[in-house]
Amino acid sequence: MPHPLGNRPSKIIAVHLNFPSRAKERGRVPAEPSYFLKPPSSLAGTGDALVRPAGCELMTFEGEIALVIGERARRVTPGEAWRHVGWVTAANDAGVHDLRYADRGSNLRSKGSDGFTPIGPRLLDARRLDPAALRVSTWVNGERVQDDTTDTLLFPFATLIADLSRLVTLEAGDVILTGTPGGASVVSPGDTVEVEVTAGDLSTGRLRNTVSEADRPLEGWGAMPRVDDAVRADAWGPAHEARPALDEATAEALRGLSTATLSSQLRKRGLQHMTIDGVHPADGDAKMVGTAHTLRYLPLREDLFKRYGGGMNAQKRAIEELRPGQVLVMDARRDPSSGTIGDILALRARMRGAAGVVTDGGLRDSATVAGLGLPVFHGGAHPAVLGRRHVPWDTGVPIACGGALVQPGDILVGDADGVVVVPPDLVADLVEDAIEQEAQERFITERVAAGEPIEGLYPLGPGRREEYETWRREGR
């Protein structure tokens, strides 16, 4: 389907970093905006295929807000800039990381291939829009993966236009891609990417493109696709890092171990602060094993809550970011005097495949949550909504929950005694030693139940070691 601009623009200018959520993923916040060019031949419309070149594996999507210049801009001020924008629409700044090494900086082949800039489907009249009140959302195969608003941009749209026009004349019809939010990642042939820009009740409609594989090999003259683990990690981004790193065999072994044993083994390794204190299960029989996905609340500030607490806020994004096997871990500063999650969001977490929820704050709808079949550990039941005490702030960052430092990807184990945090790099040895500890404790329990005294038995002394080894060989 043709793109909605009609005539081809003289240039497409793309911004490297502009959304704070993306800058956080990249680990840097630029002092000034930086740009690269995409050729006009990369334009496409909704319904057009995103063709991944043969031999490439890392095709990425980036949902963006596209500005279409309506009036020639040359050396305009920020105060004058917005009147030079004619239209706003949705865009996908697609690319292949397999070729970035060849044109690092310019991104010509990795970002400029034919069809790599779909835009549309509808143009919104910029005169009817507040540039600080737009939302961009992206879905992959129907799952929302990006969602952000323009009220916190590093560089407002007027700044971009004024900055560019100091040295580069922006002609009518030129397109500016204004940066992507956090959540951009890799897609594969068969995946469908949808991007929508909204302003209140106004919408561009969903820009929809499906990834396909090129039907002919890439000719051998010139740079060829090349990837390594670092390139893969960069392309996948946090979506790759957040995939549960816990294999099922290890998870099953952890399910058979108590948090008391794990805490003891962590303490033997010098880790004294690995329990999430002050939390208890909504369902007393709950057993939880999974990897951490984190959410941080900050203290309530009424002037900021409307901006950060409404709509698709960090709390709701955290739920929608959950992947099977993950535990949503919330830092509410040990303040249980308002809820941090309730029955509807807990149900959504369960439907997303979550392994559990942990909050050092309050739990709403506690009786209903206890019956969901989802392990939920909380600091206390409370009927109030989170806005009484908390502002949902950010996700996927190291947090403090119940006095423990929790990083994304840490392993969480919970039972009736509470929750412990297990560093992933220690889990294999920890499980082996914990299994041995629990075997010894079963032996000791049998002997104590038979009426034996605990001296030399608990803890297991050298005088009882041979007896214990025999007991083990008998398969007890």
205 and 277 fall within a common domain: no
Predicted pLDDT of residue 242: 47
Closest by CA position to 150, among listed 98, 198, 106: 198
Q: What pLDDT was estimated at residue 239?
A: 56
SS3 readout for 147-213: EEEHHHCCCCHHHHHHHHHCCCCECCCCEEECCCCCCCCEECCCCEEEEEEEECCEECCCEEEEEEE
| pLDDT value of position 309 | 86
- What is d(CA 474, CA 107) in angstroms, rounded to the nearest whole number? 65
Is 124 marked as binding a ligand?
no
Claim to verify: residue 273 and residue 384 sit in the same structural domain:
yes
What is the C-alpha separation between 139 and 119, in angstroms, rounded? 15
Do residues 62 and 140 both lie within one domain? yes
Looking at residue 240, its pLDDT comes to 53
Instruction: Let me know whether 171 and 265 are in one domain.
Output: no
319, 404: one domain = yes
Do the beta carbons of residue 119 and residue 66 sit within 8 Å? yes
Which residue(s) pair with 186 in the sheet?
A: 60
Angle between helices 259-268 and 427-449 (to 10 degrees): 120
Are residues 41 and 147 part of one domain? Answer: yes
CA 463/CA 456 separation, integer angstroms = 7
Q: Do residues 418 and 433 both lie within one domain?
A: no
Q: Domain ends where: 215, 239, 263? A: 239
Are residues 438 and 332 both part of a single domain? no
Do 287 and 371 sit in the same domain of this protein? yes
Count of beta carbons in the 10 Å neighbourhood of residue 91: 31
CATH of the domain at 329: 3.50.30.40
CA 26, 232, 102, 14 torsion-angle sign: negative
The answer to whether the annotation marks 364 as part of a ligand binding site is yes
Domain boundaries, position 454: 428-473
Q: What distance separates the 2 farthest-apart alpha carbons in the chain?
A: 93
Q: What is the DSSP letter of 396?
A: S
> How many Å apart are CA 65 and CA 129, to the nearest integer?
13
Would the annotation count 276 as a binding residue? no
The DSSP bridge pattern shows strands 326-331 and 288-299 to be parallel
Distance of CA 69 to CAs 29, 135, 378, 416, Å? 27, 19, 51, 61
Place of tokens 């070691």: 465
* pLDDT tens for the 476 residues of the chain, in order: 567 777 789 999 999 999 999 988 887 889 999 999 999 999 999 999 999 998 898 999 999 999 999 999 999 999 999 999 999 999 999 999 998 888 877 889 899 999 999 999 999 999 999 999 999 999 999 989 999 999 999 999 999 999 999 999 999 999 999 999 999 999 988 899 999 999 999 999 999 999 998 988 889 888 898 887 778 878 887 755 544 557 888 999 999 999 999 999 999 999 999 999 999 999 888 899 999 999 999 999 999 888 888 877 889 888 887 888 999 999 999 999 999 999 999 999 999 899 999 999 999 999 999 999 999 999 999 999 998 999 998 887 899 999 999 998 899 999 999 999 999 989 988 988 888 888 888 888 988 998 988 888 888 888 888 888 888 888 76
Of the three residues 204, 221, 239, the one that is the final residue of a domain is 239
Q: How many Å apart are CA 394 and CA 295, to the nearest integer?
A: 6
Ramachandran region of residue 285, left (φ > 0), alpha (ψ -120 to 50) or beta? alpha
Domain boundary among 199, 216, 239: 239
Q: What are phi and psi of 422, to 5 degrees?
A: -115, 120
Binding residue per annotation — 119? no
Q: Is 4 within a domain?
A: no
Confirm if 61 and 184 have CB atoms less than 8 A apart. Answer: yes
Rounded (10°) angle between helices 343-351 and 314-321: 30
Q: Nearest to residue 358, comparing CAs of 383, 384, 332, 338? A: 332
Question: Would the pTM of this model clear 0.75, i.e. be above it?
Answer: no
Q: How many domains in the chain?
A: 3
Residue 3, in any domain of the structure: no
Q: Are residues 287 and 405 in the same domain?
A: yes
Q: Which two tokens stand for residue 379?
A: 């600091």
